[in-house]
Amino acid sequence: SLAKADFQCTGLEVSEYASKVASETHGLNVVTGSLEKTEFADSQFDAVTMWDIIEHIIDPVQALKEVSRILKPAGYLFVSTDDASHWLPRFLSRKWWALGAPYHVFHFSKKALDHAAAVAGFEKPIYLKDPRKYTVSEIVTHFGVSYGSTFLKGLARILEKMLIGKISINIARPE
């Protein structure tokens, strides 16, 4: 809805219900379907965004091939997904929040995403890093949630009220 002020937008949604809500409630142009095989014309779009989508797709390489087909020759594909080779998922191991089976079907490292994109006909991706500032109390809260630790969650609430809990640290997210 933010982009439609400046762009002609089309959404693709697998859920018929969600498509209906987006269209009827929010006035968005959304069609129901699967990204692996769409009804869109060849070279129809200037850009395709897949924010936190690719990990949910049953055949992500086929989806990327379909995106390649529907993008204009100088079009852009923007993908956001967790990087399974980042230190944080490796540190959290089985407690990593992105291991949301059965919702997350695939997990990509940068190398795996490069390979999938190349097989689908894309050039080497450009990775953008956008470190985010987290307070010490937010970090402790996050680990408390990931590990299901009431101790860490309680500690985070205490730190929130203290100067040390308000200190911000730049962290490159595992995306």
pLDDT digits (tens, 9 = 90+) for 110-151: 899 999 999 999 987 777 766 778 899 998 998 888 788 999
User: What separation in angstroms does the CA of 64 have from each of 43, 79, 83, 123, 150?
Assistant: 14, 10, 17, 12, 41
Q: How confident is the model at residue 93 (pLDDT cuts 50, 70, 90)?
A: confident
Distance in angstroms (rounded) separating the CA atoms of residues 113 and 111: 6
The closest of 108, 105, 103, 106 to 85, measured between CA atoms, is 108
Look up the pTM and report it: 0.77
Backbone angles phi, psi at 34, to 5 degrees: -110, 140
The first and second tokens of residue 129, run together, are 């890093």
pLDDT computed for residue 91 by the predictor: 82
